[in-house]
Amino acid sequence: MIGDMTIKNLWTTMTTELSDARADRAMRRQLREELSTYRTEAEIWDLLAAIDHSESREADQVRLILEQNLTNLRRPLALAS
């Protein structure tokens, strides 16, 4: 019985972690979609300035996505040169 509880607890922990990871990926995907509406460098820089002093995990995720969006905006310009 004790062995069964250990396995059951391990199983519960693993399934909870998988569920949390899926939810986290879905949240990041939704955030990327929402931030994709900022289409110009000026719009992206304005949003980055608005969250400049925020130290939250969410703000860090927004920064990473917006910085990637800036890179993607600049890439065609670099290729055209």
pTM, full prediction:
0.73
* Distant-in-sequence contacts of 55-63, Cβ < 8 A, 24+ apart: 61/28, 61/31, 62/31, 62/35
pLDDT (0 to 100) of residue 68: 96
**Positions in the chain whose pLDDT score sits under 50:** 1
Q: What is the rounded CA–CA span in Å between residue 20 and residue 26? A: 10
